[in-house]
């Protein structure tokens, strides 16, 4: 892994599937290239929006290899490697390190709910010690609305103190600005990324590193504009615009909605496919979503580059 630290706009890239429910590698590569061309600073592949927990361990390893072998700079990749099984997490994390990923996004082991900070500290410490790579950079992934188990602020402080060269950041998808602010205040030395662009401007003003956001899949350039201009006179207007777009999207199931938008933009109906238990939006739902975005003057085509391999 490189010693660089992530900052800016990172996108948990969607994973397209074929009708047989296999990952569509060519469509995925095209989408990842498009995101980077549109201004994404990095790709948090195998995040929640990527349907990572519907992907097998070997699938994740093979897909990471495919992306790097296709010429995507591994230093711009932050693959999700956290699972419920220690051995799986170590395997994924060590592989990401070997392939030169810029960091890993580490969910806590989330199946057992009645766990305390000592247990969670041990889980992260075991991964770091077993991987044993001085270049490993860990970004904690705090998403209690989905995982229930998260990283309390005191635990984040403890991990950063124990592994100051390794635990270098956190994605806070709590949806609670007060929690993000508490992390920023407690451990200002790490990179703090809100998990929604709704908090991007506030986060940057408080010392945050950027954001890692699902809707970056369809609006990377708009979100990037806030990051580039957050000190400028148009910052509030730019922020209001990306918040408006986000709120339309999040009125629908997030992953199926983002895939429906991408399907409409690319002209590929296969982009709507999700792996069970997730379900694609119905035709009526997709139409309502696209009409709602059209009503506020947004289209994925507003971004500059062509979505092509």
Residue 4, pLDDT above cutoff 70: no
- The answer to whether 299 and 293 have CB atoms below 8 angstroms apart is yes
pTM of the entire predicted model? 0.94
- pLDDT tens digits for range 143-181: 999 999 999 999 999 999 999 999 999 999 999 999 999
What pLDDT is stored for residue 5 in this prediction? Answer: 82
Residue 7, pLDDT above cutoff 90: yes
Q: What is the mean pLDDT of residues 60-83?
A: 98
139: how many CB neighbours lie within 10 A of its CB?
26
Which residues does residue 43 pair with via DSSP β-bridges, in sequence order? 11, 77
Average pLDDT score over the chain: 95
What pLDDT is stored for residue 301 in this prediction? Answer: 77
Which residues does residue 104 pair with via DSSP β-bridges, in sequence order? 138
Which sequence spans correspond to the domains of the chain? 8-232
| Per-residue three-class SS string for 33-91 | HHHHHCCCCEECCCCCCCCHHHCCHHHHHHHHHHHHHCCCCHHHECCECCCCCHHHHHH
Of the CATH numbers 3.40.640.10, 3.30.1360.70, 3.30.2420.10, 3.20.20.70, which one belongs to the domain with range 8-232?
Answer: 3.20.20.70
Q: What is the mean pLDDT of residues 44-49?
A: 98
Residue 2, pLDDT above cutoff 70: no
Q: What is the mean pLDDT of residues 278-291?
A: 98
Residue 142, pLDDT above cutoff 80: yes
pLDDT-derived band at 303, boundaries 50, 70, 90: low
- pLDDT tens digits for range 220-264: 999 999 999 999 999 999 999 999 999 999 999 999 999 999 999
Q: What is the mean pLDDT of residues 22-46?
A: 97
What pLDDT is stored for residue 232 in this prediction? Answer: 97
C-alpha angle with apex 20: 70 to 51, nearest 5 degrees? 65
Percent of the chain with pLDDT over 90: 94
- pLDDT tens digits for range 189-226: 999 999 999 999 999 999 999 999 999 999 999 999 99
């Amino acid at each position: 892994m490189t010693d660089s630290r992530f900052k800016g706009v990172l996108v948990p890239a969607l994973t397209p599937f074929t009708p047989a429910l296999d990952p569509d590698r060519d469509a995925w590569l095209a989408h990842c290239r498009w995101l980077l061309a549109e201004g994404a600073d990095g790709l948090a592949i195998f995040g929640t929006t990527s349907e990572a927990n519907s992907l097998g361990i070997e699938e994740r390893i093979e897909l990471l290899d495919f992306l790097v072998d296709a010429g995507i700079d591994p230093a711009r990749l932050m693959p999700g490697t956290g699972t419920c099984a220690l051995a799986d997490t170590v395997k994924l994390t060590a592989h990401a390190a070997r392939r030169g990923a810029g960091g890993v996004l580490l969910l806590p082991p989330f199946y057992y709910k009645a766990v305390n900070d000592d247990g969670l500290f041990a889980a992260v410490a075991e991964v770091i010690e077993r991987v044993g790579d001085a270049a490993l950079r860990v970004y904690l992934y705090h998403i209690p609305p989905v995982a229930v188990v998260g990283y309390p602020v005191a635990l984040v402080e403890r991990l950063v103190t124990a592994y100051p060269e390794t635990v270098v950041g956190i994605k806070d998808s709590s949806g609670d600005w007060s929690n993000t602010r508490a992390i920023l205040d407690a451990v200002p030395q790490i990179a703090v990324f809100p998990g929604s662009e709704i908090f991007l401007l506030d986060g940057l003003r408080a010392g945050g590193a950027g954001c890692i956001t699902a809707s970056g899949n369809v609006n990377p350039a708009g979100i990037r504009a806030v990051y580039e201009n957050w000190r400028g006179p148009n910052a509030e207007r730019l922020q209001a615009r990306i918040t408006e777009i986000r709120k339309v999207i999040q009125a629908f199931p997030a992953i199926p909605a983002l895939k429906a938008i991408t399907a409409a933009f690319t002209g590929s109906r296969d982009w709507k496919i999700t792996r069970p238990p997730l379900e694609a939006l119905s035709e009526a739902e997709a139409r309502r979503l696209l009409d709602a975005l059209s009503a506020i003057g947004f289209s994925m085509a507003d971004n500059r580059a062509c979505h092509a391999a």
